[in-house]
Amino acid sequence: MDDPRHRLPVADLDQQRRPVAEVEGAPALVGSICADCGAHAFPVHATCHHCGSDRSSPGPVASEGTVYSFTTVHVSGSGPVPYTLAYVDTQDGLRVLGRLAGGGRWRIGDRVQVTRAADQPTGWAFAAAGEPR
């Protein structure tokens, strides 16, 4: 099972911890903000995906959004299951892959917000909007 020929060249994206910043008392994901065109990216990128500039700097980029799509994972070789992964369209135009906190019944279009989640591999998750952060 641990055959080196089957390892990915980079760590599983879902297993990488990502920093979270506080913006006006609410957690926000830290991504990149382009100094030339203002485009946001997540996670941090050295080069702007919009204009190609290499003048991006880390900053808070997303704190809330709506569920674009989701699925519940029932089999994993790297951690406890089940958990729910979702693509969330954020208020600043990003589509971010992250876990949905809690075992609630989710629907496409549900409003969510970033929340700190020490029990999640990334250190954060999306929770239903209006929940305590």
Binding residues for Zn ion restricted to 60-119, rule: CB under 5 A: none
Asked if residue 45 binds Zn ion (CB under 5 A), the reply is no
**DSSP labels, 1-35:** ---GGGS-SS--GGGS---EEEETTEEEEEEEEET
Contacting residue, 28, 34, 86, 125, with Zn ion by CB under 5 A = 34
Contact criterion met (CB below 8 Å) for 45 and 54: no
Looking at 17-25, 41-49, 85-93, 125-133, which segment touches Zn ion (CB under 5 A)?
A: 41-49
Q: By CB under 5 A, is residue 41 in contact with Zn ion? A: no
Nearest-angstrom CA–CA distance, 95 and 40: 11
CB of 34 to Zn ion, least distance (A): 3
**Could you tell me the CA-to-CA distances from 105 to 44, 78, 94 in Å, in that order?**
31, 24, 24
| Residue 37 binding Zn ion, by CB under 5 A | yes
Least CB distance from residue 45 to Zn ion, whole Å?
10
Which stretches of the chain bind Zn ion, using CB under 5 A?
34, 36-37, 39, 48, 50-51, 53
